[in-house]
Chains A and B, each alone.
Chain A
């Protein structure tokens, strides 16, 4: 029993990391219709931002070292969002309605960003020291214990998706995003600055990737190609759940996370990986638009 619960928690934990990586994609890919191959690099940017913040605290504020995590969470979001904003203003905005081109261009950007990271931080892995309160584990019963950092990541992931849902459905900004993505010309005719909405929405998506990057520094080391480890699974998560819906992202990450770890547990890692991808193909055969499909600007026409 204990093993099964631990195994399930393991799956939920993988799912929560996937979800954090995928929420941003749900917005940029699902809502805006941009295939952003550089999404993983914004995860990388968030991770290195965390690394830099940690170093700054170590050098200048050693007494407050344990609180660097909170600053890093905010900074990773802000830095990734600002760079995403810049990227939308200078490059992405010329690529709407050109999905093939956007795929190639953002792939190029991804390579440039990886090289840039290598030049700045070097090719070898770096890692951050997590503060004490994130180490250790929460003992539930004698045989069941959950790693604290994993629990915190789960909480952050759920908080992030709730915040995004609130923003999309309950705020004026969210309403303007929905209107713009549903009918761009009509939104403009109602006084919405749709170009600004595009930039802000894209920045929100990359910012969330940055946040994901911050949390993954707790569970592994950072290298310039760290984004590549997440990008494919994040895309699969969004597609299988249904692009552009948060419910779909929630489902997709649970499906991929819990499904993958369970199948790997029941068989072995190689077979498990293959099985989950076969399952994805089966789902998409019957639900080509994902489990929870939405109406959005491009994917629906």
Chain B
């Protein structure tokens, strides 16, 4: 379980996200919804410690992450799938996956189940990551994060620029994974969110304005905010 209390994060002098509270439970897909510029990506970067941020509480199960540098947070159990995938373009698919082992404290082997989830990766193991298509890169980015054996998987707009059939596949994988870990997804593609999420937060101008279980949340308000 990832627990966040009073997270503020931003770039340079200003803050983009203010006093954000959020919980991501194992067994659930938690979604953070918001328009462009609402602070979704900033929130995730704050959780990873990639930008200047402060939080009263940033805890993964019982581990306090708030003072840790990024690499320790990864080792503590956050698997991060960033916006734009950010795979290592000059490294092979195999080496991209192996990099994930750096944050895996239990194993030094890329687990086989990943190739059941994403058969395409097995086929392209020796190809350069940069030569894959956008959808394949997204699958690689998710697989790479899973190699770290995370307690919470956080994904930043996994559907961005991906063709519908692959979005479908990714959605199925996420649903399959949620029994094993907490999953936090940042997304603005509402249809996808409504398909896979269990709990939703609505982010507006760096503040959470609405939250609730997927089937109880005020869909009209969410749509209204996203359409503004």
A188 contact set on B, CB distance < 8 A: 50, 69-71, 74
Q: Is the CB of B82 within 8 A of A189?
A: yes
- At the interface with chain A, which of B85-93, B181-189, B205-213, B217-225? B85-93
Instruction: Assess A183 versus B102: contact at CB under 8 Å? Given A188-B71, A191-B148.
Output: no
Q: Mark A183-199, 1 if CB is under 8 A from B, else 0.
A: 10111111111110000
Most buried by B among A186, A189, A192, A195: A189
Residue of A nearest to B50 (CB): A185
Q: Is the CB of B88 within 8 A of A178?
A: yes
B-contacting residues, A272-301, CB 8 Å: 294-295
Q: Is B132 an interface residue (CB 8 A)?
A: no
B71 contact set on A, CB distance < 8 A: 188-194
Q: Is A93 an interface residue (CB 8 A)?
A: no
CB distance from A240 to the nearest CB of B (A): 22
Q: Is the CB of A187 within 8 A of B99?
A: yes
CB distance from A27 to the nearest CB of B (A): 16
Interface size class of B (residues with CB under 8 A): 20 to 34
Q: Is the CB of A190 within 8 A of B91?
A: no
Q: Is A182 an interface residue (CB 8 A)?
A: yes
Main DSSP-derived SS at the A contact region: helix
Q: Is B55 an interface residue (CB 8 A)?
A: no
CB distance from A82 to the nearest CB of B (A): 24
Q: Mark A151-193, 1 if CB is under 8 A from B, else 0.
A: 0000000000000000000001001101100110111111111
Q: Is B100 an interface residue (CB 8 A)?
A: yes
Candidates B69, B91, B102; contact of A178 at CB < 8 Å: B91
Q: Mark B34-56, 1 if CB is under 8 A from A, else 0.
A: 00000000000000101000000
Q: Is the CB of A182 within 8 A of B91?
A: yes
Q: Is the CB of A176 within 8 A of B91?
A: no
Can you report 26 residue pairs joining A to B where beta carbons are below 8 Å apart?
A175-B95, A175-B99, A176-B102, A178-B95, A182-B89, A182-B90, A182-B91, A183-B86, A183-B88, A185-B86, A186-B86, A188-B50, A188-B70, A188-B74, A189-B70, A189-B71, A189-B82, A190-B99, A190-B102, A191-B71, A191-B100, A191-B103, A191-B104, A191-B148, A192-B71, A295-B90
Chain A to chain B: the 10 pairs with minimum beta-carbon distance, closest first = A191-B103, A188-B70, A191-B102, A191-B74, A189-B80, A186-B86, A191-B75, A188-B71, A190-B99, A193-B71
| B residues apposed to A, CB below 8 Å | 48, 50, 69-71, 74-75, 80, 82, 86-91, 95, 98-100, 102-104, 144, 148
| A residues apposed to B, CB below 8 Å | 172, 175-176, 178-179, 182-183, 185-195, 294-295
